[in-house]
A = this chain, B = another copy of it.
Amino acid sequence: MIDDVRLARAYLLRVAEPPAPEVVSLVADLGPVRAAELVRAGKAAIDETAARRHLDFATKDLEQAAIRQARLVIPEDGEWPGWQLLALANAAARDVPGLTEPLGLWVRGEARLDELVDEAVAVVGARAATSYGEQVAAEIAYDLAQRSVTVVSGAAYGIDGSAHRGALRAGGATIAVLACGVDVAYPVGHTDLLVRIIGQGAVVSEYPPGTRPAKHRFLVRNRLIAALAGGTVVVEAGRRSGSRNTAATTSALGRPLMAVPGPVTSAMSVGCHDLLRTAGATAVCSAEHVMADAGRIGVDATTRSDEPARSTDGLDRVMLRVHEELPSRGGLSAERIAVGSGVPLSRVRALLPELELLGLVQKCEAGWCRGTG
């Protein structure tokens, strides 16, 4: 069963170019296996899959991945970072274009993905960084890693590379989210760096093994950097830097956006200062500042789960349906909740952990029951 699901998701990741909103929505409604059948038969999400639906490489992709010490992590897995990625589903539900949840994530690296991103901050910025920016990125990443915070970035030259290196130097964990297959060394000059990242953290991508990077994929990839991290720090950015895109996504997801100030005479700080002036970014000069500003999410979540009384105020319609399906006494399996509520099983499985964090549900012998508050 799990293998069918994994095969279905591997197939869909191969034939649907992310963010593929129609396919993602189809999977949410019908589950991955049925969605894959319809796509394969040319009966659904035609626009997004017509060009590739004949590429039934799922088995081959999974085998190929295994050879490269890569695995496909899917929402049905325990290590799926559901809480972090849920923000994308919510954003997509609010009609933010392009911010879909990934159908799965190809991962290289031994650590569990959910544990890696439990406390994580994205440190991103310009490729054409100055030595000032690279120095600051490395120092902030080093200090974050020393505080057991995982540094998420994009493995690019400049700020990204410095951030990964800073975390590695501290012996900490770091995640590189790629716009190509996890087996593709890009940029070539970072081949060794990527190997070290795999050794101390993870290289992650929604693109199947062998996929080459393409300009549009960097923008699509950026939403995963923003979503996997509890907040984003932009260290240096020119006026039209790609980091502006990651910054915008961070704000769209309701996560703290931070920018490092720099000389106003530096073209590489123009983007950061613009984020401070117009995007509500906070100015951060050190890991201490980052912890203070990005810590808000973690702190809020903790505070919330300490509160005795729970409220379903603020839940969206689908979450309410899941919650209301639970009886006032006793529990239900996720499958029973899915049948009863009419919400697709995969969606139920993604939502239950969030409801748990809100204290509205908890695990029990039967599966899930209402939170005791």
Contacts and interface: CB of A to CB of B under 8 A. Distances in A.
Nearest to A286: B264
Copies of this protein in the assembly total 2
A136 B265 contact: yes
Interface string A275-289: 011000011111001
Contacts of A338: none
Contacts of A285: 264, 270, 273
A264 B273 contact: no
Contact of A261 (B132, B273, B282, B289): B273
A262 interface: yes
A277 B256 CA distance: 14
Nearest to A272: B261
Interface in A268-318: 269-270, 272-273, 276-277, 282-286, 289
B261 A283 contact: yes
A135 interface: yes
Contacts of A269: 261
A372 to B, nearest CB: 40
A283 B281 CA distance: 11
A218 to B, nearest CB: 27
A359 B277 CA distance: 33
A262 B273 CA distance: 10
B262 A263 contact: yes
A257 to B, nearest CB: 14
Contacts of A276: 261, 276, 282-283
A290 to B, nearest CB: 12
Contact of A265 (B135, B284, B289): B135
Contacts of A289: 277
A260 interface: yes
A289 to B, nearest CB: 7
A269 B132 CA distance: 15
A289 B285 CA distance: 22
Nearest to A275: B283
Given A276-B276, A277-B283, A264 B261 contact: yes
Interface of A: 132, 135-136, 260-265, 269-270, 272-273, 276-277, 282-286, 289
Which 10 A-B residue pairings sit nearest by Cβ, starting from the closest?
Answer: A261-B261, A264-B285, A276-B283, A273-B285, A273-B283, A277-B283, A263-B263, A261-B273, A136-B264, A262-B263
20 contacts: A132-B263, A132-B265, A135-B265, A136-B264, A260-B264, A261-B261, A261-B262, A261-B263, A261-B264, A261-B272, A261-B273, A261-B283, A262-B262, A262-B264, A270-B285, A273-B283, A277-B282, A277-B283, A277-B284, A277-B289
Given A273-B283, A276-B276, A276-B283, 4 more contacts: A132-B263, A260-B264, A262-B262, A277-B289
